[in-house]
Structure 1
């Protein structure tokens, strides 16, 4: 018979504009589930942190760079960026009100409260695809983690981000020489080709070993200067 430790406990369940979002506790872990699809948990975080570091490394010493983090998730990327004084403005785009609430006054607050209090941090509640399509100002880096990868989107509408039009919008949201970093649970050679075709340079894929199963990856590309 399973013990209570083996059965995830639902802490909150909400219907949002894009479907159901659930926060669960499974033993010591907190998990986010969207429309029945596992998104992420608090078990590791090394690839989410590397997403931010890889973008900063690729900026090659740019002073006080601004970063747009696409997807708040469990807060690993935001917390890591805010812990690094080299970043300037930190903007996080999250479309799910529930996830923002869980960070501001819920179980995820312990992971992100210091980052949320940082004056460099701004949380924007909106859809990332719409945000990059409509945004007027630009960033030095886009660190995007809204899906399980370009080939495995959480909702159908997210697929537009990885098309030629979506990547053109990402390029417009970047300053010359800016870096696009996209998290994925697996490599996508097709997406690498899409990045080249969209005019990005220095396209590469970096594998990050994780505690569970196959490595995660970060797709990196640079907007021409």
Structure 2
């Protein structure tokens, strides 16, 4: 078992467009730190994989589904999507060039090289909200893992994704009956209510227990057909 209590080794430290991002290794575990705040690591990807799996299960049966994954992170959501043949197109939007580089040519490539080589997969380096506002394509599912969720963001600009304008952009990028799935580090009844008030249907939350503290969750909602 990997020792998560030992000293961390900094693999790379880079100044990105939204502040400092750091890749660390602790034993066999990689960690991503942004502006001094821990974001994610490779120790347990259950909730990130569930984000994509639950979105697919909420769609009507059928082939040729498209999914946008917001946030590449350590790659668990991408791996889940690439392993599922029912996704015909997988678009990953990541705003930090350093994170993309760590997967393409750095240490995280040992996890995701096969998925990134999949011809169905496209990686877009852009701010997610900007992409949602300006893209000229719609998706069957949006699977968004940005910051720590709607109630606690490390980067202030990420707040906009969970505000009315951000929810409008999500709705506009979904096909009728499309699924919005949002990862969060903690449950939020207020965010569930915001989704309902914005016209999303079948709003529900799936919890994933963690070793300590409140569970991670996936918020699910469906655009009206």
Structure-2-length-normalised TM-score: 0.96
Aligned to 1:74: 74
- After TM superposition, the score normalised by the length of structure 1 is 0.96
What RMSD, in angstroms, separates the aligned Cα atoms of the two structures? Answer: 1.2
Query: CA offset at residue 211 of structure 1?
Result: 4.1
Query: Any stretches of 5+ residues in structure 2 without a counterpart?
Result: none
- 1:124-172 Cα offsets, whole Å, 9 max, x none, are 0000011111111100000000111101112111111111111011000
Partner SS for 1:124: strand
Paired residue for 1:195? 195
Which residue of 2 is the match for residue 105 of structure 1?
105
Asked whether the 8 Å contact 1:29–1:41 carries over to 2, the reply is yes
Distance 1:68 1:126 in 2: 13
CA contact (8 A) 1:47 1:217 kept: yes
1:54-103: per-residue Cα shift (whole Å, max 9, x none)? 00000031322100000000000001110111111000000000000000
- For 2:140, the equivalent position in structure 1 comes to 140
The equivalences for 1:45-124 within 5 A come to 45-124=45-124
Structure 1 residues not aligned, in runs of 5+: none
Shift of 1:210: 3.2
Do the aligned partners of 2:187 and 2:215 also contact (CA within 8 Å) in 1?
no
How far the C-alpha of 1:15 sits from its partner, in A, is: 0.3
SS of residue in 2 equivalent to 1:66: strand
CA distance in 2, matches of 1:115, 1:65: 17
Distance 2:85 2:123 in 1: 18
Alignment of 1:11-26 (within 5 A): 11-26=11-26
Partner of 2:183: helix, strand, or coil? Answer: strand
Which runs of at least 4 in structure 1 moved beyond 2 Å after TM superposition?
Answer: 209-214
Aligned with 1:89: secondary structure? Answer: strand
Distance 2:168 2:196 in 1: 11
Number of residue pairs aligned between Structure 1 and Structure 2? 222
**For residues 212 and 59 of structure 1, do their structure 2 counterparts lie closer, same or farther at Cα, with a shift above 3 Å needed?**
same
User: Contact 1:68/1:92 (CA < 8 Å) preserved in 2?
Assistant: yes
Contact 1:44 1:210 in 2 (8 A): no
Aligned equivalents of 1:116, 1:129: Cα separation in 2: 22
SS of the equivalent of 1:130 reads helix
Task: Point out the more displaced range, 205-214 or 38-47.
Answer: 205-214
**Whole-Å Cα distance in 1 between the matches of residues 62 and 163 of structure 2?**
29
